[in-house]
Chain A
């Protein structure tokens, strides 16, 4: 008899594989991996209903460490792969993970275009400002003029603003997490999974090997001590702790515009104060799946994956008569 997943008691360990993890010791990726595993576990997403797509780079290996369907795709292309799977089977919980170079460099076209679609997916970008696996070149999120230790010269490109780009591209859930705050990040991921539409989570993820600027100590403000308390003043702060309201409640009365401006303002904060938390949630905008349903009315009940394509005898089950009549050369 088949074992029904929901009949057995799931543990966090069920979401882990025994594949050796070869990330550098102290890598920020570990925190993200843990957060993803915990989010899936806490939401009790059945293992076979979850798929993690990844791109290329250190982050690309993530799926191999999570015991759900794991698809390690091409550099920059995880989004379209994931969209194809999700539209074919809208019952799948689809998470995409990738690096900043993957999503905002080579894959930036898909990053923007996916926003226009708003497919129900959760996209997590590991943002460490360097290309780690190829030995530390500047990534699209490294600021202009910065010189990390593996760069021969200071960065000659300016950085893209992932939060603002996600907003103007049409993402309907936009957040930022910090990889060493697993508890906080895990909650964001859970909300993103439950969100209807395309979610984007920018995760600040120090690369201990190649980025000697945006380090764990830097984020925690170890370089700047409060003269009064003698304690470090962390750069990271949580939006929700400052009464920030990310939700769009309606699309009229200039509400959307106000929220957009608010997100842009917050997205510009960097240096002394770096916000994490949820920047923007908009469930008013239709998802791509809903837009498909407007054309194919039974899309959710009868998506591509559920459609029979042959008779019991293995022949086509399509009746082409009506379509062929269009081309008939017989009159009347």
Chain B
């Protein structure tokens, strides 16, 4: 019996409640004190295409997902066809018995490539192409299959509640499926009830009906189904935890960090953050300070989004915009203007698969080099990457501090994996949030104000628009200390030096802990170098490898530009083998590393199929390397 360790998946057509089902499951489990990591996959589509949610549960913190599935919860045949091969022996399949005769060829949303692949898999094993065939195959492989007639369950529920309409309420099937799985896990119903209440909090009637339905399903399962090999038991936990998604962490970080102006143009997966901010535009301040607020503007395009945020930055307000690759491409010129005029602005860049429209709803880490090099000419910027949802919250505040202190644009790299993942993390501690506005001039009576005054650090006292006696000029042209246009060759050199000097200063001042973090065995010969959301899978894979007796260390670089070269070299110590792990084809981080530390990369573990790296595949890839059996480049390709 496996207790409190589970990899659970629900799938179904978009619009059928896969998300809310997964939310109910995650929340119910989290209410019981268990840790959750949920990964969401969906198509660029509103209704009908396949989506799925994998939730990993454990009694200790979980940071990533597994390829293997213990519980596959389905109510449509597509989910079954697409994912059955991942279900472990001894695992559980929940399916609709009324669909047993449906053939894979009758499912238009399984596109040609997937149809061919699944059929090949089934044919190799002598399995037919209908749901019934696949269920039999599952049984033969030790999977416990639980056939349910959702329509019959609905009819019985309608009878019990004396409401014939319920018999046709297919919209409740998602919650029924979730309830079946939780009943099979013998999980305390009270948490399920609370989770349903939470997810449908805006619609009490819907909540009540779904609770009735879940209760009914619980009874049904107890009466009719045999036990599984899994059990979820609530645990007591003293600390306060939250269950939160990456975009929400970023939005909360912005509010806590003093961002009072946000712009955006709708784009997946970045706009969730801005919409959340719009929905929470007015918020509480500490006692006696009343309410704070953030102005959120939906712009006509991303050019407007970045330039409007810069305008607010000029007015002395912490301002930002959130976007993804295509939008960020449009922001290039604006970013350069902010660099040229030393205006603080934060761009939260939610990476997704590119180039062009690429994979709009899928994950990647393809924009690192672009973020470091965006725009023409040379100007200072800071590029900062968070590794998980908890980091995002605290990092957002740092990005605003950097933007104001060094008076430059900061690009905060997040990605689709983190944006849409849901995770239990320690409740954010706002008492840790330090606000550093740098040399901000609120009043000026000291002669003639020069916005771009030459100083030793390159940082000039920064007046905002509206400060008496501190009128200044800005221009995208090269300019003098006042901000007036000049093409003088000497001033030009001095101004370029001034602007770029700030990066040196930033590199000196930013604490090492905020630049890069080292994990694992410091003396290990093998060192994994990575950035961003690969962190979770790497850390858990390392833990597992440690259990196998391997020594390994991991350097997570957070400050990607300016690059903390000396620190990383120091952290490498006597490591012999460098392993670059990242989610792109070119090994972009590896390219930066090579350039900075002047060492070659020994191994690459790359993935660019639009799906985040799993613990399972990172573990195997690193193990191959440690066993000296790996090729220089390993391309991971697990997907769903």
A contact set with B: CB distance below 8 Å: 2-5, 17, 19, 46-49, 51, 53, 56, 61, 63-64, 67-74, 77, 79-89, 91-92, 109-110, 112-113, 292, 295-299, 302-305, 307-311, 314-324, 327-331
Contacts and interface: CB of A to CB of B under 8 A. Distances in A.
Nearest to A308: B289
B420 interface: no
A4 B191 CA distance: 64
A80 B473 contact: no
Contacts of A19: 484
A67 B448 CA distance: 13
B475 A64 contact: yes
Nearest to A76: B303
Interface in B17-53: 27, 30-31, 33
Contacts of B465: 51, 69, 71, 85, 89, 92
A292 B318 CA distance: 18
Contacts of A304: 260-261, 293-295, 312, 315, 317
Contacts of B286: 311, 317-319
Given A53-B311, A81-B310, 9 more contacts: A48-B471, A63-B475, A71-B474, A72-B473, A74-B307, A84-B315, A309-B292, A316-B435, A330-B31
Kindly list the 10 A-B residue pairs having the minimum CB-CB distance in the complex, ordered from nearest.
Answer: A84-B311, A309-B258, A113-B300, A72-B475, A84-B308, A88-B315, A310-B435, A304-B260, A327-B242, A316-B433
A301 B30 CA distance: 42
A331 B237 CA distance: 12
A307 B294 CA distance: 10
A233 to B, nearest CB: 42
Contact of A72 (B312, B437, B445, B476): B476
B317 A305 contact: yes
13 contacts: A71-B314, A84-B307, A84-B319, A87-B312, A88-B317, A89-B466, A309-B260, A314-B434, A316-B435, A319-B284, A322-B284, A324-B242, A330-B241
Contacts of A4: 468
Contacts of B294: 304
B460 interface: no
Nearest to A19: B484
Contact of B248 (A67, A112, A327): A327
Contact of B430 (A61, A74, A316): A316
A297 to B, nearest CB: 8
B310 A84 contact: yes
Interface stretch (B119-127, B275-283, B405-413): B275-283
B166 interface: no
Interface in B434-470: 434-437, 443, 445, 464-470
A316 B397 contact: yes
B291 interface: yes
B244 interface: yes
A314 B435 contact: yes
A292 B300 contact: no
Contacts of B434: 314-316
B311 A80 contact: yes
Interface size class of B (residues with CB under 8 A): 35 or more
B356 interface: no
A17 B480 CA distance: 15
A305 B240 CA distance: 34
Given A85-B465, A113-B300, A64 B315 contact: no
Contact of A88 (B312, B469, B477): B312
A2 B434 CA distance: 31
B263 interface: yes
B244 A327 contact: yes
Nearest to B34: A329
Given A320-B252, A329-B30, A80 B304 contact: yes
B420 to A, nearest CB: 15
Contacts of B281: 295-296
B435 A315 contact: yes
A215 B501 CA distance: 49
Interface in B314-335: 314-319, 333-334
A87 B319 CA distance: 11
A110 B304 contact: yes
A316 B301 contact: no
A212 to B, nearest CB: 28
A209 B435 CA distance: 53
Contacts of B240: 328, 330
A296 B244 CA distance: 26
Contact of A316 (B257, B295, B333, B334): B257
A305 B466 contact: yes
A21 to B, nearest CB: 11
Contact of A84 (B257, B312, B464): B312
A89 B286 CA distance: 23
Interface string B472-506: 11111100000111000000000000000000000
A324 B319 CA distance: 22
Contact of A73 (B293, B469, B476, B483): B476
A63 to B, nearest CB: 6
Given A80-B303, A81-B308, A299 B258 contact: no
B194 interface: yes
Contacts of A320: 252, 255-256, 283-284, 428, 430
Q: Interface centre among A49, A85, A86, by most B CB within 10 Å?
A: A85
B409 to A, nearest CB: 14
B60 interface: no
Contacts of A299: 293, 295
Given A320-B428, A320-B430, A88 B256 contact: no
A134 B189 CA distance: 73
A324 B252 contact: yes
B181 interface: no
B431 A77 contact: no
Contacts of B66: none
Contact of A314 (B31, B242, B436): B436
A72 B300 contact: no
B512 interface: no
A51 B297 CA distance: 21
B209 interface: no
B341 to A, nearest CB: 8
Given A88-B312, A329-B31, A302 B473 contact: no
B292 A318 contact: yes
Given A307-B292, A316-B397, A329-B30, A85 B436 contact: no
B299 interface: yes
Interface string B228-257: 000000000000111110001000100111
Contacts of A330: 31, 240-241
Contacts of B308: 80-81, 83-84, 87
